[in-house]
Amino acid sequence: MKQNEHIKTDKQDRERRMRDTIKKAAFLLMAERGIDQVSMREIAEKVNVTKPVLYYYFKNKEDLCRSIVDEYEQDFFVLMEDAYAKGHGLEDVLKSLLRAHLDFFRKEPINSKFVMQMIAYTLNKQFPAQARRPAPEVLLGDYLSKKEQDKRLPAGAAADISRLVSALFFKVMVNSYVDTYIYGGKRASAYDDKMVERLVQIILLGIKKYYEEHEK
């Protein structure tokens, strides 16, 4: 490797590590105190850099928040792609996605707190539109639509399943937040792997039964 290429690679590695450090610090501060209550100055102080350095990496707080969210969505996107690539059936794919969603909040409960803070922050604010990869719910909808086009699902069923599973995603997140930060982890979670598998079966059986009855 040429010397200038080596220098360029070192710089990229340093910048990547700094971006990760900033995002981690911002995530923890925002999750605990609320996004509105945390300033870019405080984040810079937490990471021990100047504000100009912080603004070199992120143009504003919304850009920083979006980067944090995008990272977690990227992880979920990879899991979805893996589940689809393995060619599993619809039931197995949905179970895999829901278990991953459950683990995301079960292993790191603070993730639910950050999501709740994001929801509160965006109630009266709107992030500027920008090109980004489709959200997990959109990818799930696309996957289900293909199943519908292949006649593996009745016409209209893809949208219904997508709405039901997305609602379950949200419920799992809220339940994790309530269990951890309202009840202090003193009550057993209503959601576990067996519950997730049972709910997926109920959704698919219910959809099948509904469309069988309404196609008569």
CATH 1.10.357 segments of the chain: 62-214
151: confidence class by pLDDT, cuts 50, 70, 90:
confident
27: confidence class by pLDDT, cuts 50, 70, 90:
very high
The values of phi and psi at residue 50, to 5°, are -85, 160
Mention every residue, 6+ apart, whose C-beta is less than 8 A from residue 166: 137, 140
Please give the residue that has the higher pLDDT: either 32 or 84.
32
Q: What's the pLDDT tens digit per position in 29-55?
A: 999 999 999 999 999 999 999 999 999
CATH 1.10.10.60 segments of the chain: 1-58
Angle at 110 between CA 105 and CA 114, to 5 degrees: 100
- What rounded mean pLDDT belongs to the chain? 85
User: What is the predicted pLDDT for the residue at 3?
Assistant: 56
99 pLDDT above the threshold of 90: no
CATH for the 1-58 domain, from 2.40.50.320, 3.40.605.10, 3.30.390.50, 1.10.10.60:
1.10.10.60
Q: What is the amino acid identity at position 37? A: Q
187 pLDDT above the threshold of 90: no
User: What is the predicted pLDDT for the residue at 6?
Assistant: 56
User: What pTM did the predictor assign?
Assistant: 0.81
User: Tokens standing for 203?
Assistant: 């959704």
Q: What is the CATH number of domain 62-214?
A: 1.10.357
Q: Are the beta carbons of 189 and 179 closer than 8 angstroms?
A: yes
